[in-house]
Amino acid sequence: MRRILVTSALPYANGHIHLGHLVEYIQTDIWVRFQRLQGNRAIYVCADDTHGTAIMIRAASEGRTEEDLIAEMSKSHQEDFSGFDIEFDHYGSTNSEANKETCNEIWKSLNEAGMVIEKEIEQLYDTEKGLFLADRMVRGTCPFCKALDQPGDNCSKCGETYSPKDLIDPISKLSETVPETRTAKHLFVHIEKLHEFLDEWTQSGTLPPESSNYLKNYFLNEKLKDWDISRPSPYFGFEIPDSPGNYWYVWFDAPIGYIASTKEWCNRENENIDDWWKNDQTEIHHFIGKDIQYFHTLFWPAMLKTSPYSLPTKIHIHGFLTVDGEKMAKSKGTFIRAATYLKHLNPSALRYYYASRLSSKVEDIDLNLEDFANKVNADLVGKVINLASRTAKFVSDSGLSEKYPDDGGLFESAAKEGNKIAADYEAGNYSHAMRRILEIADKANPFVEQNAPWELRKDPEKSKELQDVCTIALNIFRQLVIYLSPVLPSLSKKTEELFGEPIQSWDQSLSPLTGIKLNKFKHMMNRVDPKNIESMTEESKEEATKELASTHVEAKSSNWNDSGSPLEEEPLSEEISFDDFMKPDLRVARIVEAKEVPEARKLIQLTLSLGGDERRNVFAGIKSAYEPEELVGRLVVMVANLAPRKMKFGISEGMVIASGPGGKEVYLVSPDEGALPGQRIH
RNA sequence: UGCGGGGUAGAGCAGUUCGGUAGCUCGUCAGGCUCAUAACCUGGAGGUCGUAGGUUCAAAUCCUACCCCCGCAUCCA
């Protein structure tokens, strides 16, 4: 019997659980249930991730304490999880005594190993709010390209990265005041010291190969940067014991929450934490998304390495969720909260669909809503459950045959298949497992067809034969449910009720049930109705609009009913004076030539005429939306006094004006009929 | 340009480890059945397996080169 500790990443207390989160928790829950079915001892712990500036600011803006906020979110998260049959042995919080204690302990080990160093860094400080500003809390003018209103870490216009203190005219997003530069002492973990260990550990098979490669080529091929682990007061988190006024950065105490949550479980269950976190016979499995692999594959092992706790046995990394092939988008109603889903659809359907898409690879999975309904209905209702619903009532009086009849090897070959299915589950290749399981169902349905129990029923002399056929179909059904039970605990429960026999072990798939009475067959699962999918996305859209209305000053009602999402995605910039407006010199220009730039992915090279002999060479990032030929001759609006900019393919002497999010959606602005090249726009 | 993933029927995908009749689901066409939640069963049409070359008796699978798509990084807007 293996002893296995399993975790999922800790969801942040600043937001609700949505379908993207659920990929991970469903994936993990399936794995845990599978391990238990195999007879292994597996416990599943998780917790809310509660610290950081975002929580602090939100609590303040809602006029309540952080504790109040995180308590409410924890309750909401747990309700969502349980609604999807995701069962934790313990669900804790990073804001707990156990976590504080464990942080201290790990901190001590890091210090003793000489891993902690102190550096002075300059940071922007909001004098009105009295706090240091995180990069994203500042906006200002880009020091490189002079673009206005850029975030504190990198410029969305020129893409340069910089430190917020380099911004020209920085403004605090919190108070709208001008922050000042102050120096502060920060503590860093010098993980370069463990470079060699990390080189080895990341290649040791603990990670999926895609991730090992990524780390090797991207982080581990140069010196590892010191990790800034402290944040100055005020900060919602734990104060660092030997550095008053400084707090641990949320990413320090978050993974430690795995240990702390286990400790709490141990206290409750009278278990010994050392058996779980300090014993090399215990396997530790983390399930995470690819967005946080950096923390779990470099910092976390480094922290553990110097501590008395065990390193993880395996890190399972999944990709992101897309809906209908695109990123989840509030405006399209595909940003779906767990709670919203549950109002309209059956959690088992989503569990099965995710299972049928998940593999051990680090790849994004797509929730194609049409395919989702199709697959769940065809596979689960039409094939698997159908086996029982079309035969159970024929044996409601007689029960199952005393002796398992000759089925031509159906049951036995399906029992043999069990090993392969189990191997697929173990490796995280759920999609393979689902495929194999459905293949069995695909053999069983023709069997029923050929033996036509509805015909046998008509002839009293064939009652034994009828009972045999149904015994076979129902046993194969039960076998399928055993294989599916990690994915579909609720189907498993209903099957237990039908047979009056609990499903507790994988090996139950090896021997058929005989000679028992069945309970009355009840519907086991409803079909997914596309109407419910639609009402779910509709409601998600409405939620998003409401949210928008409450965060933006006023949502003007209009007859045109335009969506609010473009504004949401790119909020209005700060107010400017008339003089500011007069700075950009916008001119009508005619495109006199348009050329492909073969090596460029996004650019078209334009020659613009401002009338007379005035010509400008401009590179415009509109290749994905326009063909050069269709551009020649048309009028556009250009920024004529923009400083020339050297680009990879030449010098660009201005910009043409366009709207749209990019890609195929780029819309050049044209003047109305009659405008002349060279005219200024005022 | 770098790293990773991908290109197989109208759509979505499996098969590639270890070469041997190209398969599944949906859709579509024809038929069957009426036990089952408009379900299920049988059969058909639909594929130059991204391109070119190579190895081999035999290539979707192995080798070489190239093209295209997606993500991340970079460049750029």
| Residue whose structure tokens are 């000053």 | A553
pLDDT at A557: 35
How many other C-beta atoms can be found within 10 angstroms of the C-beta atom of residue A179? 28
Distance A125 CA to B70 C1' (A): 41
| Residue whose structure tokens are 């759920």 | A430
The reply to whether A316 has its C-beta less than 7 Å from any atom of strand B is no
The mean pLDDT value for A605-628 works out to: 77
Share of chain A above pLDDT 70, in %: 88
Which of A198-207, A270-279, A420-429, A586-595 holds the top average pLDDT? A270-279
pLDDT digits (tens, 9 = 90+) for A459-478: 888 889 999 999 999 999 99
The reply to whether A326 has its C-beta less than 7 Å from any atom of strand B is no
Distance A202 CA to B68 C1' (A): 33
Polymer length of chain A: 682
Q: Is A602 exposed, middle or buried (0-12, 13-18, 19+ CB in 10 A)?
A: middle
Has residue A625 got a pLDDT over 80? Answer: no
Has residue A240 got a pLDDT over 80? Answer: yes
The mean pLDDT value for A13-22 works out to: 90
Q: Taking a C-beta distance cutoff of 8 angstroms, is the pair A399, A518 a contact?
A: yes
Has residue A484 got a pLDDT over 90? Answer: yes
Q: Which of A508-522, A611-625, A653-667 shows the lowest mean pLDDT across its residues?
A: A653-667
What gap in Å lies between CA A70 and CA A67, rounded to an integer? 5
Residue with the bigger pLDDT between A6 and A165: it is A6
Strand duo A665-668 + A658-662: pairing:
antiparallel
The reply to whether A659 has its C-beta less than 7 Å from any atom of strand B is no
Nearest nucleotide (CA of A145 to C1'): B77
HSE-CB at A455 with a 13 A cutoff on CA atoms is 5
pLDDT at A505: 95
Cβ-count burial A385-403 (b if 16+ within 10 Å, e if not): bbbbbbbbebbeeebbbee
How many other C-beta atoms can be found within 10 angstroms of the C-beta atom of residue A520? 9
Has residue A567 got a pLDDT over 60? Answer: no
Has residue A554 got a pLDDT over 60? Answer: no
pLDDT at A541: 81
The reply to whether A524 has its C-beta less than 7 Å from any atom of strand B is yes
User: Which of A283, A313, A297, A248 shows the shortest CA–CA distance to A106?
Assistant: A248
Task: List all nucleotides in chain B with at least one atom under 7 A from a protein Cβ.
Answer: 2-6, 12-15, 24-26, 32-37, 39-42, 74-77
The reply to whether A129 has its C-beta less than 7 Å from any atom of strand B is no
What gap in Å lies between CA A320 and CA A292, rounded to an integer? 11
pLDDT at A559: 37
For Cα atoms A492, A495, A501, give the angle at the middle one, nearest 5 degrees.
Answer: 100
The reply to whether A598 has its C-beta less than 7 Å from any atom of strand B is no
pLDDT at A264: 97
The reply to whether A651 has its C-beta less than 7 Å from any atom of strand B is no
Residue with the bigger pLDDT between A367 and A472: it is A472
Residues 27-56/A with CB < 7 A to strand B: none
| Mean residue pLDDT across chain A | 84
Sorted by sequence, the CB contacts under 8 Å of residue A575 that are 6+ apart come out as none
Nearest nucleotide (CA of A447 to C1'): B41
pLDDT at A129: 74
Residue with the bigger pLDDT between A483 and A682: it is A483
Has residue A510 got a pLDDT over 90? Answer: yes
Nearest nucleotide (CA of A446 to C1'): B41
Residue A333: which region, alpha, beta or left (left: phi > 0; alpha: psi -120 to 50)?
A: left
pLDDT at A560: 42
Sorted by sequence, the CB contacts under 8 Å of residue A681 that are 6+ apart come out as A586, A587, A588, A637, A671
Q: Three-state SS across A345-365?
A: CCHHHHHHHHHHHCCCCCCCE
The mean pLDDT value for A6-13 works out to: 93
How many other C-beta atoms can be found within 10 angstroms of the C-beta atom of residue A458? 9
Has residue A621 got a pLDDT over 80? Answer: no
Distance A432 CA to B17 C1' (A): 15
pLDDT at A482: 95
Has residue A161 got a pLDDT over 80? Answer: no
Strand duo A227-228 + A180-189: pairing:
antiparallel
Distance A150 CA to B50 C1' (A): 42
User: Which of A496, A494, A543 shows the shortest CA–CA distance to A523?
Assistant: A494
pLDDT at A556: 33
The reply to whether A322 has its C-beta less than 7 Å from any atom of strand B is no
Helix extents (H) in A358-409: 369-375, 386-389
Q: Which residue is nearest to nucleotide B12 (CA to C1')?
A: A371
Nearest nucleotide (CA of A382 to C1'): B39
What gap in Å lies between CA A25 and CA A31, rounded to an integer? 10
HSE-CB at A514 with a 13 A cutoff on CA atoms is 12
Nearest nucleotide (CA of A388 to C1'): B36
Q: Which residue is nearest to nucleotide B74 (CA to C1')?
A: A159
Distance A556 CA to B36 C1' (A): 54
Return the amino acid letter for A48: D
Q: Taking a C-beta distance cutoff of 8 angstroms, is the pair A400, A469 a contact?
A: no
Residues 259-288/A with CB < 7 A to strand B: none
The mean pLDDT value for A220-240 works out to: 87
Residue with the bigger pLDDT between A270 and A151: it is A270
pLDDT digits (tens, 9 = 90+) for A381-395: 988 999 999 999 899
What gap in Å lies between CA A454 and CA A462, rounded to an integer? 11
What gap in Å lies between CA A14 and CA A33, rounded to an integer? 29
Distance A142 CA to B77 C1' (A): 15
- pLDDT confidence bin for A558, thresholds 50/70/90: very low
pTM over 0.95: no
pLDDT at A259: 97
The reply to whether A383 has its C-beta less than 7 Å from any atom of strand B is yes
Residue with the bigger pLDDT between A339 and A153: it is A339
Residue with the bigger pLDDT between A584 and A59: it is A59
Sorted by sequence, the CB contacts under 8 Å of residue A522 that are 6+ apart come out as A494, A497, A498
Residue with the bigger pLDDT between A601 and A178: it is A178
Residue with the bigger pLDDT between A627 and A58: it is A58
Q: Which residue is nearest to nucleotide B26 (CA to C1')?
A: A374
pLDDT at A565: 53
- pLDDT confidence bin for A526, thresholds 50/70/90: confident
pLDDT at A579: 55
Residue with the bigger pLDDT between A332 and A168: it is A168
Q: Is A37 exposed, middle or buried (0-12, 13-18, 19+ CB in 10 A)?
A: buried
The mean pLDDT value for A524-548 works out to: 83
Distance A294 CA to B19 C1' (A): 40
Nearest nucleotide (CA of A319 to C1'): B71
